């Protein structure tokens, strides 16, 4: 079937000889690390030669483990009952944990003054070291927060049965959740994602029904999720303190290669513009006939008369055609992704919710998971995820060690692609469709600014309270409601919030990625600002854009911004982006008022 992805370019099955051979190959490389590290520490090998050998092992090894773990993860994400997938994920995880000891020993050896101070000299003499200059510098910075090799190994092993296990539990419990719902005169059991998708239905009764059924279903899982979240956040706090970070936020910023000054400038500007988003929500609440403010279940509601649906084929055509208006490279790339079946489109039982893109650098391909239901927003999600894939493609010629871009830059290409498709669609739309596109754009921007702020407030508070004690279900719920009220202000109905949003978003459960919220805001506002630059510079921007994407794996966020002349540490740049969004609020307001004049 063309609407499901093929994973055969990775392996043809869990018992494929290539898969077994790759596992063995990875094992044999792993055996080479110990003698190398012993030699480095005993100074019985030339340092430059030692660094080169280490890098070459790491490159080969990273490729193998990336391919193997992608195969496990991707299979698991469409079939959460697959024991074989889970076993492979576990095997690759264990294998990479075994490497921890050598990585820590290498970092410690490399960071000693007399070795790392000769880095520039060695980079001049060695192309391999030169290509990994930033990688090695970054490694030196990381070594400040490292514990002893033994402790790091123990932590890596315990994580698989601690935070990682809690994350798996939450993912399994939420993706397999079947919800009872009374629809069209009969009681049905639907997967949770199908129930959540009712939020986009034109019929208001269905949206409300979906929300109530969702909250009911979550009620049965609240204790499991609370235990998982307490376990994960508790572990994060313990480790981040042990490593010498001021807080989990401090650690997140360090790993994100982002300065606090940049984060504060961005969050501050987002807060300045909250009234503009509230104006939009009030407009929408009024159009939907809500007197007491917007209930949470109607935030995603389509406005009347604006529904339009797409088949998978129509959606593909739409995306490729509009990507072509930006560059033929991008259009050709998207067509290749569809032709080679990189995309898994429709929801089904056992498949995880939401959407993601997995860039498999080791084979130069990507896979995209969607829960496509045919609305315009889903079409934009295709563009979004293919943007991630395109980012991966630009990094194809880089060393695999230079492809790990930090979280704030992760959403740049995806949101840029979304913007391309949306703007192109606006140009050929009639007033009704324009209204839909604008509404969709503002709803998305509001999610990424207002809802993300609520998630940022919530997670900050959770860490604060978790330092003192594990949170009860009621504490999680009330912190969530407080955070929602703080961000959404007086334009939501305080009786109809979403106290279970922490069950719904998997991001809170990623132990290795805390505060996986503000990077989305960074992504939207950065990409919006970049699009403004593209409008100004035209095709001359295409090269800069390529350079920027290629640089994302080997620079700090501020340096990447500097590639296109942007300073993210002051409010000016962020205001430019938010003003572009404000223009859309004005436009929607005028279209809606014209409509009500006619009526």
Nearest residue (CB) to Zn ion, 201 versus 411: 411
How crowded is residue 345: how many other Cβ atoms within 10 Å of its Cβ?
Answer: 21
- Closest approach of Cβ 578 to Zn ion, in Å? 20
CB of 71 to Zn ion, least distance (A): 22
Taking only Cα atoms into account, the Rg of the chain, rounded to an integer number of angstroms, comes to: 24
To the nearest whole angstrom, how small is the minimum distance from the Cβ of residue 148 to Zn ion? 37
Q: Is the dihedral of CA 17, 18, 22, 25 positive or negative?
A: positive
Whether 416 and 388 have beta carbons less than 8 Å apart is answered as: no
Residue 45 main-chain phi, psi, to 5 deg? -135, 145
Q: Tell me the CA distances in angstroms from 453 to 273, 513, 515, one per residue in order.
A: 12, 17, 11
DSSP letter at 181 equals E
Closest listed residue to residue 587, CA positions, set 180, 280, 247, 197: 280
Least gap, CB of 448 to Zn ion (angstroms): 10
Residue 384 vs 466, nearer CB to Zn ion: 384
Judged by beta carbon, residue 89 or residue 386, the one nearer Zn ion is 386
To Zn ion, the closest distance from the beta carbon of 477 in angstroms equals 27
CA dihedral 71, 75, 76, 80 (to 10 degrees): -170
Least separation in angstroms between CB 199 and Zn ion: 19
- Residue 454 token pair: 């609520």
What is the rounded distance in angstroms from the CA atom of residue 140 to the CA atom of residue 137? 5
Q: In terms of CB distance, is 380 or 471 closer to Zn ion? A: 380
Closer CB to Zn ion, residue 164 or residue 411? 411
Nearest approach, Cβ of 164 to Zn ion (angstroms)? 22
- Of the pair 252, 414, the CB lying nearest Zn ion is at 414
Local structure of 202: helix, strand or coil: coil
For the bound state, the minimum distance from the C-beta of residue 54 to Zn ion, rounded and expressed in Å, comes to 33
Q: How far is the CB of 381 from Zn ion (least distance, A)?
A: 9
Cβ-based nearer residue to Zn ion, 129 or 343: 343
Closest CA to 347 of 320, 325, 369: 369
Using CB under 5 A, list all residues that contact Zn ion: 411, 414
Residue nearest to Zn ion (CB): 414
Q: How far apart are CA 107 and CA 203, in angstroms?
A: 58
CB atoms within 10 A of CB 553: 23
Shorter beta-carbon distance to Zn ion: residue 110 or 508: 508
Three-state SS string over 426-478 comes to HHCCCHHHHHHHHHHHHHHHHHHHHHHHHHHHHHHHHHHHHCCCCCCHHHHHH
Q: Show Cβ contacts of residue 184 under 8 Å, excluding neighbours closer than 6 positions.
A: none
Residue 119 or 370 with smaller CB distance to Zn ion: 370
């Amino acid at each position: 079937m063309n609407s499901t992805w093929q994973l055969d370019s990775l392996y043809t099955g869990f018992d494929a000889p290539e898969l077994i051979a790759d596992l063995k190959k990875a094992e044999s490389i792993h055996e080479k690390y110990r003698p190398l590290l012993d030699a480095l520490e005993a100074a019985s090998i030339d340092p430059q030669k030692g660094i080169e050998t280490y890098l070459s092992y790491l490159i080969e090894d990273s490729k193998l483990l990336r391919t193997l773990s992608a195969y496990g993860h991707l299979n698991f994400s469409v079939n959460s009952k697959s024991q074989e997938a889970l076993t492979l994920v576990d095997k690759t995880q264990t294998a990479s944990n075994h490497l921890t000891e050598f990585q820590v020993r290498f970092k410690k050896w490399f960071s000693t003054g007399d070795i790392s101070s000769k880095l520039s000299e060695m980079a001049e003499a060695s192309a391999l070291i030169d290509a990994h200059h930033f990688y090695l510098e970054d490694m030196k910075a990381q070594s400040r927060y490292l514990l002893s090799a033994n402790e790091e190994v123990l932590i890596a092993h315990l994580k698989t049965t601690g935070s990682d296990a809690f994350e798996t539990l939450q993912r399994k419990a939420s993706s397999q959740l079947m919800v009872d719902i009374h629809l069209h005169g009969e009681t049905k059991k639907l997967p949770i994602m199908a129930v959540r998708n009712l939020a986009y239905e034109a019929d208001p009764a269905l949206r409300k029904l979906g929300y109530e059924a969702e909250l009911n279903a979550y009620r049965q899982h609240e204790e499991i999720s609370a235990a998982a979240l307490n376990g994960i956040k508790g572990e994060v706090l313990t480790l981040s303190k042990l490593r010498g970070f001021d807080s989990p936020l401090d650690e997140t910023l360090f790993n994100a290669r982002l300065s606090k000054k940049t984060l504060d400038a961005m969050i501050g500007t987002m807060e300045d513009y909250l009234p503009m988003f509230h104006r939009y929500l009030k407009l929408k609440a009024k159009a939907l006939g809500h007197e007491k403010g917007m209930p949470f279940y109607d935030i995603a509601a389509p406005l009347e008369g604006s529904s339009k649906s797409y088949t998978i084929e129509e959606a593909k055509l739409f995306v490729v055609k509009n990507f072509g208006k930006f560059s033929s490279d991008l259009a050709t790339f998207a067509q290749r992704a569809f032709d080679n079946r990189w995309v898994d489109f429709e929801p089904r039982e056992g498949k995880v919710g939401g959407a993601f893109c997995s860039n498999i650098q080791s084979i130069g391909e990507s896979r995209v998971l969607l829960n496509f239901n045919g609305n315009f927003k889903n079409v934009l999600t295709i563009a979004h995820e293919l943007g991630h894939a395109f980012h991966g493609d630009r990094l194809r010629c880089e060393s695999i060690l230079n492809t790990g871009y930090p979280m704030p830059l992760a959403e740049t290409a995806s949101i840029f692609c979304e913007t391309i498709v949306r703007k192109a669609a606006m140009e050929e739309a009639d007033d009704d469709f324009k209204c839909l596109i604008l509404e969709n754009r503002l709803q998305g921007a509001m999610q990424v600014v207002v809802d993300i702020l609520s998630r940022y407030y919530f997670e900050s508070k959770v860490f604060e309270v978790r330092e003192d004690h594990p949170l009860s279900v009621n504490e999680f719920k009330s912190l969530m409601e407080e955070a929602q009220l703080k961000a959404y202000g007086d334009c939501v109905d305080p009786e109809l919030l979403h106290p279970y949003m922490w069950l719904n978003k998997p991001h809170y459960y990623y132990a290795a990625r805390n505060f996986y919220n503000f990077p989305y805001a960074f992504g939207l506002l950065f990409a919006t600002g970049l699009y403004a630059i593209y409008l100004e510079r035209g095709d001359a921007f295409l090269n800069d854009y390529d350079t920027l994407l290629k640089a994302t794996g080997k620079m700090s966020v501020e340096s990447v911004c500097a590639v296109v002349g942007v300073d993210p540490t002051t409010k000016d740049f962020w205001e430019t982006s938010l003003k572009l969004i404000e223009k859309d609020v004005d436009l929607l307001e005028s279209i809606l008022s014209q409509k009500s004049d006619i009526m």
